[in-house]
Amino acid sequence: MPKLKTNRSAAKRFKKTGSGKIKRSKAGKNHFTGKKASKSIRNLRKGTLISCADSERIGKLLPY
pLDDT in tens, 40-58: 999 999 999 999 999 999 9
d(CA 2, CA 15): 23
| pLDDT for position 4 | 96
Q: Alpha helix (H) ranges present in the chain?
A: 8-13, 38-44, 52-61
State the CATH class of domain 1-24+39-64. few secondary structures
DSSP state of 27: S
What is the CB neighbour count within 10 angstroms for residue 50? 16
Residue segments in the chain with a per-residue pLDDT below the cut of 50: none
Are the CB atoms for 57 and 50 separated by under 8 Å? no
Number of H helices, E strands in the chain: 3, 3
